[in-house]
Amino acid sequence: MTEKDVLKKLNVLRDIKPAAEWKSSARDILSAQVFNSSEAVKISLFDEAVFEIRSFFSFFAQPAFAAIGLFVLLVGSVFGANAARNTKPGDSFYAARVWTQKARVAITFDSRAKAKLEMKYASVRAKEISKVLSESSLNADNESDKKKIAKLTDNLKAEIKTVTDKYDEISKSDETESSEPVNVNTTSSSADADGDDVAVGIGRPSVDDGQVFAVDSSKDSKGIQISQPAAIKAEPAPVSATSSVSLTAVATSTGSDFKKNLSDAVDLVDNNDFAGAKNILDQVDTMIDSIDRADQGEVKGVSETATTVSEAIGIGTVSSSQETK
Amino acid sequence: MNDRKDKKLFFRVRKQDRDAFLEAYDLYIDDIYRFVYFKIGNDEEAKDLVSAVFLRVWNQVQSKGLDESKSLKAFIYKIARNLVIDHYRQAKRPTLNIDDDEVSEPLADEGRSVETEMDKVSDLELIKRSLPKLKDEYREVILMHYIDELSFAEIAEITGKSRGNVRVMAFRALKALKDLIEEKK
């Protein structure tokens, strides 16, 4: 016999009930006692409504419903994001897509990366608006279509302006950085009385092309110093550590002038040549992609160079002052 | 039992709605009678106590309200349980002997076959002989959870034990009853 069998047997207990006559007479007695001992109470409609609302919400506040709600929210946001990704200007989900892009920009904190992201998004949006304008069946003679075309054209110009502004912003920041490169030099200092003969200098180049400042430990007896192997004392090896490549250089290397393309696109939009504008904006978008790729390559290049420099100056060859002596 | 119906009744009884209270009587009279009957073991005493239970419920609604209780059903069971404890104290009769011939409602049903009814009667006899041999708290939890379908939370409120404690006790009680039935067979 299992617990289930016991439960089945227990069910027969449900048939145990008091006699119907007794129930009825007991009810009458109770009713008389209740009605004699209290006044009639009328429950207001407001109280009833409050109860109904509260019980409705308490029903949906159960863990099972909360879990289902969370699941629906998750699925909805995943499908919503996917649906928004494939929309084009004019679709109902397009606003959601623009909002997602803005959110992504907002959570990017590096100013150059932020500008680059804004430039990329604006470029893609400009490309899409020009595509919609060139392929749509909107009729310029129709008043309502005319308004739509005017609005899309304004949006397109605004996006092109954003691309231009962000390009300028990035170029300006690149110029500022490239005028003040950070160098990593290895320099040798003259041996002092204690025989501490090596200093590693990290800083901007000075007038005499030598060290700008040096880490030099005169408390040699116990201090740890970085010593330079004799074999690589020769020439300092300045390394430019700018954070990115020159934007103009990359843009020009693609064969056309980035800004000129953008101003041409604006002219074509003004002349209602949306197909022409679209072709140029396609090129602009390709150029932005190549800038992006070049940036990624540059980051890799900097890290490789840094490894070479660290090997050259002998970081890792740490010796005590006694050994130096 | 319909949980929503209980909540609605609870709301109306709390507002001292007399009709709602009588509806609650109609809804819970069988369960409370069964609960008391299996605790007392005597039909007449059980009936007297059940009448007293409902009267006390109404008096308490008028004097103290129902604010601390989670459900009307749990509130009525709690009062029934306390009255049974008082009854034991007064009668000084802690043992239970369920009368064989005092179940008021006839068990046979015209719509069922004779074999089914025979099985049913023998099952009832088996259970009736086994239940008194269980510890009082085991019998109580079996009646409340497996027969009257009170939740562990409601039983915890009625008995003053923790929900986990009630859950463990319910499983142990069922196992103990199973062992007793197997012994009797």
CATH of the domain at B124: 1.10.10.10
A260, A243, A250: which is closest to A292 by C-alpha?
Answer: A250
| Residue B180's pLDDT band (cuts 50, 70, 90) | confident
pLDDT higher at B4 or A254: B4
Quick check: A201 pLDDT over 60? no
Q: Looking at beta carbons, which residues of chain A come within 8 Å of B18?
A: 34-35, 38, 40-41
Last residue of a domain, one of B37, B70, B98: B98
How far is Cα A187 from Cα A142, in angstroms, rounded to an integer? 75
Contacts of B48 (CB under 8 A, 6+ apart): none
- pLDDT above 70: residue A168: yes
When pLDDT is averaged across residues A52-62 and rounded to a whole number, the result is: 70
Residue A178 is predicted with a pLDDT of: 65
Task: From A5, A7, A27, A31, select the one nearest B30 (Cα to Cα).
Answer: A27
What's the pLDDT score for residue B115?
A: 57
pLDDT of residue A225: 47
Q: How many structural domains are present in chain B?
A: 2
The SS3 assignment for B21 reads helix
A201-215, B134-148, B155-169, range with the lowest pLDDT: A201-215
* Helical packing angle, B152-159 and B163-184, nearest 10°: 100
Rounded mean pLDDT of chain B?
81
Q: What is the pTM of this model?
A: 0.47
Q: For A145-157, what is the mean pLDDT? A: 85
CB of A38 within 8 Å of a chain B CB? The answer is yes
Query: In this predicted structure, which of A84-88, A112-116, A122-126, B128-132 has the lowest mean pLDDT?
Result: A84-88
pLDDT at A247 over 50: yes
Percent of chain A with pLDDT over 70: 61
pLDDT at B33: 94
The last residue of a domain, from among B98, B123, B143: B98
User: In Å, how far is A51's CA from the nearest CA of chain B?
Assistant: 8
Residue contact B18–A30, C-beta within 8 A? no
Between A35 and B106, residue with greater pLDDT: A35
Q: Which of B67, B98, B129 is the last residue of a domain?
A: B98
Average pLDDT over every residue of A26-43: 82
Query: Same domain for B87 and B119?
Result: no
Residue B105 covered by a domain: no
What number of residues does chain B have? 185
Q: Do B35 and B6 belong together in one domain?
A: yes
Q: How many residues are there in chain A?
A: 325
CA–CA separation, A89 vs A95, rounded Å? Answer: 8
How do A198-203 and A224-226 pair as beta strands? unpaired
Q: Which residue has the higher pLDDT, A311 or A84?
A: A84
**Helical axes A143-179 vs A274-313, angle rounded to 10°:** 20
**How much of chain B exceeds pLDDT 70, in percent?**
80
Q: Do B182 and A47 touch (CB under 8 A)?
A: no
Please check whether residue B98 is in contact with residue B132, taking contact to mean a CB–CB distance below 8 angstroms. yes
Q: Are A294 and A245 in contact (CB under 8 A)?
A: yes
- A200-204, A287-291, B42-46, B138-142: least confidently modelled range: A200-204
Residue B91: domain span:
1-98
Instruction: Count each helix (H run) and each strand (E run) in chain A, helices first.
Output: 11, 4
Residue B106 lies in a domain: no
| Token couple for B117 | 């009814």
Distance, in Å, from the CA atom of B149 to the CA atom of B128, rounded to the nearest integer, reads: 19
| Three-state secondary structure call for residue A318 | strand
C-alpha A257 chain-centroid distance? 29
HSE value, Cβ hemisphere, 13 Å, CA-based, for A308: 11
Task: Say whether A3 and B178 touch across the interface (CB within 8 A).
Answer: yes
Would you say residue B84 lies in a domain? Answer: yes
Residue B67 has pLDDT above 70, yes or no: no
Across chain A, mean pLDDT equals 69
Residues B13 and B92 placed together within one structural domain of the fold: yes
Q: Provide the 10 A C-beta neighbour count for residue A92.
A: 9
> Which has more pLDDT, B18 or A89?
B18
pLDDT of residue A22: 92
Average pLDDT over residues B28-45: 90
From the CB of residue A21, how many other CB atoms can be counted at a distance below 10 Å? 9
Cβ separation B34–A17 shorter than 8 A? yes
Report the first-to-last Cα separation within chain A, whole angstroms: 91
Rounded Cα distance, A23 and B104, in Å:
11
Please report whether residue B138 resides in a domain: yes
The answer to whether B12 and A43 have CB atoms below 8 angstroms apart is yes
Q: Give me the pLDDT at residue A175, please.
A: 78
- Asked whether residue B109 is assigned to any structural domain, the reply reads no
Residue B163 lies in a domain: yes
* CATH number of domain containing B64: 1.10.1740.10
Return the pLDDT at A187.
43
CB B45 within 8 Å of CB B87: yes
Give yes or no: residues B64 and B133 share one domain: no
- E strands, chain A, are 183-188, 198-203, 224-226, 318-320
pLDDT at A131: 84
Number of alpha carbons in the 13 Å side-chain half-sphere of residue A204: 7
B50 and B134 belong to one structural domain: no
Rounded to an integer, the average pLDDT of A275-298 is: 80
**HSE, side-chain direction, 13 A CA sphere, residue B60:** 16
pLDDT at position B82: 92
Give yes or no: residues B183 and B135 share one domain: yes
Q: What is the pLDDT of residue B63?
A: 84
- In this complex, the residue of A2, A9, A40 whose CB is nearest that of residue B126 is A9
**Do residues B94 and B9 share a domain?**
yes
Question: Measured between CB atoms, which of A3, A6, A43 is closest to B15?
Answer: A43
Please determine, for residue B80, whether its predicted confidence score (pLDDT) is greater than 90.
Answer: yes
Residue carrying the six token digits 């179940």: B103
Mean pLDDT value across residues B81-100: 73
CA pair distance B31, B72, nearest whole angstrom: 13
A:137-166 residues touching chain B, CB 8 A cutoff: none
Q: What is the pLDDT of residue B138?
A: 92
Domain contains B104 = no
pLDDT at B90: 80
- Kindly indicate the confidence band of residue A61, based on its pLDDT and cuts at 50, 70 and 90: low
Within this chain, do residues B6 and B76 fall inside the same structural domain, yes or no?
yes
Best mutation target among A9, A33, A58 (most B Cβ atoms within 10 Å) is: A9
Mean pLDDT of B5-33: 87
Q: For residue A19, what are its two tokens?
A: 């006699």
Question: Same domain for B8 and B43?
Answer: yes
Choice between A111 and B172, residue whose per-residue pLDDT is larger: B172
Q: Mean pLDDT over residues A20-42, rounded?
A: 85
Has residue B184 been placed in a domain?
Answer: yes
Looking at chain A, the whole-number percentage of residues with pLDDT higher than 90 is 2
Is the same domain home to B23 and B72? Answer: yes
Residues B88, B160 within the same domain: no
Residue A182's Cα: distance from chain center in Å?
Answer: 28
Q: Does residue B29 sit in the same domain as residue B55?
A: yes
Alpha carbons B171 and B62: distance in angstroms, whole number = 38
The per-residue pLDDT for A132 is 84
Q: Which tokens belong to A79?
A: 């499908």
ipTM at complex level: 0.76
Instruction: Please tell me which residue, A169 or A221, carries the higher pLDDT value.
Output: A169
For residues A129-138, one letter each, b for 16 or more C-beta atoms within 10 angstroms of the residue's C-beta and e for the rest, the string is bbbbbeeeeb
